């Protein structure tokens, strides 16, 4: 068989092998350092409902009051059914949703290029409307979560850390970001995705239960969601915040002028890098050539060929059409002396894999074997199920790191309405 295109399962295996080396050091690099901003004023309490607390570095909590001050380094926590709207020194807004916890870790609003705002969101949701810092120093206006970093581009957005106890089969544990105005860049696990107004991005928590995938790059790379999750609920003060969001640019610029006496030069608009399109402008895939009779090898070779070409073309429709809707794919990898098996559904497998293609360079893949047989109980007369096995070798660069590995792929193909669909899919690291 000729060298073929990108393969989902090969790439999943690779990711498990190499990404730990690239991800783990990133965590280690965040060693505690002395923070010169600790103890400085961060924001005033503009609106308040219920009980919201700020806990100092010494572990002493205090209940917030309207008009009070939140300081850099304090951990802010809203009780259930409680909210607060904080107005920062650059006229920006941080609305604390019920049950949310966050820490303003860095803040300076002096009208200089060194102005900064870095928030660490621990759990729950915030609504963040950027002030002048988002204009003067976008690179130092970001939100850090347990699974991602969110950069802003002049923005009204809602980051959400969904904890394990709220996660389910529809919404996984991790970081979500809904953009109301402007744009953000969601960066996680070696990849990123640009989120525009009206869209929601998601980055899966690599430490989520049942996913021993600190290194599962294809699954962990951030993606855009097709709809807004149901757990996004408007806050008590959102109508007022909607009006403020429409005027914040002018308000913050005027406040900056009053502080510095200098009218800032127009800021060059930065376009956030986006992932490559999942639908390149290519000629449509020709329909498969009809196969006469029931030759397992011919059928298996044709199915793998369509699969590989569709991955290369990033043709989601064709890929989905090759797998049964109910399929649960499994990848087994070796970690030391232990084998770990991961499971994921069809849509998650396809979308995550296609999103990760952008990080590949100098990719080469070849299939060194192909074996196809009738499934147990099948005959050439019935010809309903086939077992297809293939050994694939992959090599190239991901995130500048070389890799090469070998994996055994196994598919159970079932004929439905004249089409061959994979109803089972397994891959095992060799």
Residues 218, 286, single domain; the answer is: no
Total domains, the chain = 2
**What pLDDT, in 10s, does the model give residues 52-62?**
999 998 899 99
**What pLDDT, in 10s, does the model give residues 238-253?**
999 999 999 998 888 8
Question: Which pLDDT does position 98 carry in this prediction?
Answer: 95
Is residue 167 packed enough to be buried (19+ CB in 10 Å), middle (13-18) or exposed (0-12)?
middle
Question: Which pLDDT does position 214 carry in this prediction?
Answer: 33
Question: Which pLDDT does position 320 carry in this prediction?
Answer: 86
Question: Which pLDDT does position 255 carry in this prediction?
Answer: 87
Residue 284 domain-assigned (yes or no): yes
Return all residues near 299 (Cβ < 8 A) that are at least 6 apart. 291, 372, 386, 413, 420
Two tokens at 224?
């855009």
Domain that holds residue 68: 34-260
Residues 231, 292, single domain; the answer is: no
Question: Which pLDDT does position 211 carry in this prediction?
Answer: 44
Question: Which pLDDT does position 395 carry in this prediction?
Answer: 72
Question: Which pLDDT does position 112 carry in this prediction?
Answer: 86
Residues 229, 180, single domain; the answer is: yes
Residue 23 domain-assigned (yes or no): no
**What pLDDT, in 10s, does the model give residues 400-415?**
667 677 888 999 999 9
Residue 110 domain-assigned (yes or no): yes
Residues 394, 253, single domain; the answer is: no
Which residues in the chain come in under a pLDDT of 50?
A: 1-6, 13-31, 209-217, 266-281
Question: Which pLDDT does position 218 carry in this prediction?
Answer: 55
Residue 20 domain-assigned (yes or no): no
Question: Which pLDDT does position 347 carry in this prediction?
Answer: 75
Residue 269 domain-assigned (yes or no): no
Residue 10 domain-assigned (yes or no): no
Residue 362 domain-assigned (yes or no): yes
Secondary structure string (H, E, C) spanning the chain: CCCCCCCHHHHHHHHHHHHHHHHHHHHHCCCCCCCCCCCCEEEEEEEEECCEEEECCCCCEEECCCCCEEECCCEEEECCCCEEEEEECCCCEEEECCCCEEEEEEEECCCCCCCEEEEEEEEEEEEEECCCHHHHCHHHEEEECCCCEEEECCCEEEEEEECHHHCCCCCCCEEEEEEEECEEEEEECCEEEEEECCCEEEEECCCCCCCCCCCCHHHHCCEECCCCCCCCCCCCCHHHHHHHHHHHHHHHHHHHHHHHCCCCCCCCCCCCCCCCCCCCCCCCCCCCCCCCCCCHHHHHHHHHHHHHHHHHHCCHHHHHHHECCCCEEEEEEEECCEEEEEEEEHHHHHHHHHHHHHHEEEEEEEEEEEEEEECCCCCCCCCCEEEEEEEEEEEEEECCEEEEEEEEEEEEEEEECCEEEEEEEEEEEC
Residue 208 domain-assigned (yes or no): yes
Residues 59, 158, single domain; the answer is: yes
């Amino acid at each position: 068989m000729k060298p073929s295109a990108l393969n989902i399962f090969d790439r999943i295996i690779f990711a498990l092998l190499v990404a730990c080396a690239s991800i783990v050091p990133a965590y280690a690099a965040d060693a505690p350092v002395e923070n010169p901003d600790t103890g400085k004023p961060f924001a005033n309490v503009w609106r308040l409902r219920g009980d919201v607390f700020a806990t100092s570095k010494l572990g002493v909590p205090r209940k917030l009051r309207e008009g009070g001050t939140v300081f850099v380094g304090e951990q802010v926590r809203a009780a259930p059914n409680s909210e607060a709207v904080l107005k920062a020194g650059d006229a920006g807004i941080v609305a604390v949703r019920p049950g949310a916890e966050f820490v303003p870790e860095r803040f300076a609003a002096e009208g200089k290029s060194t102005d900064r705002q870095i928030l660490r969101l621990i759990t729950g949701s915030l609504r963040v409307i950027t002030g002048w810092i988002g204009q003067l120093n976008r690179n130092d206006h970001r939100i850090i979560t347990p699974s991602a970093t969110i950069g802003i581009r002049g923005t009204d957005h809602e980051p959400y850390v969904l904890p394990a106890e709220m996660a389910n089969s529809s919404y996984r544990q991790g970081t979500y970001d809904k953009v109301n105005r402007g744009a953000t860049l969601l960066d996680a696990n070696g990849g990123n995705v640009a989120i525009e107004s009206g869209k929601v991005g998601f980055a899966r928590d690599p430490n989520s239960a049942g996913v021993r995938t600190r290194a599962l790059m294809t699954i962990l790379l951030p993606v855009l969601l097709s709809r807004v999750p149901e757990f996004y609920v408007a806050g008590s003060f959102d109508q007022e915040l909607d009006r403020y969001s429409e005027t914040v640019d002018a308000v913050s610029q005027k406040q900056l002028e009053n502080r510095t006496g200098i009218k800032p030069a127009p800021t060059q608009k930065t376009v956030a890098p986006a992932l490559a399109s999942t639908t390149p402008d290519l000629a449509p895939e020709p329909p498969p050539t009809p196969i006469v009779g029931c030759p397992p090898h011919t059928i298996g070779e044709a199915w793998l060929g369509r699969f590989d070409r569709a991955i290369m073309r990033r043709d989601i429709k064709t890929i989905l059409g090759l797998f049964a809707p109910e399929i649960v794919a499994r990848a087994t990898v070796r970690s030391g002396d232990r084998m770990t098996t991961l499971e994921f559904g069809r849509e998650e497998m396809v979308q995550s894999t296609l999103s990760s293609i952008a990080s590949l360079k100098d990719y080469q893949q070849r299939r060194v074997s192909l074996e196809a047989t009738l499934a147990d109980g099948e005959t050439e007369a019935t010809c309903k199920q086939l077992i297809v096995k293939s050994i694939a070798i992959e090599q190239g660069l991901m995130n500048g790191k070389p890799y090469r590995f070998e994996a055994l792929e196994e598919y159970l193909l079932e004929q439905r309405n004249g089409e061959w669909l994979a109803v089972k899919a397994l891959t095992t690291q060799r």
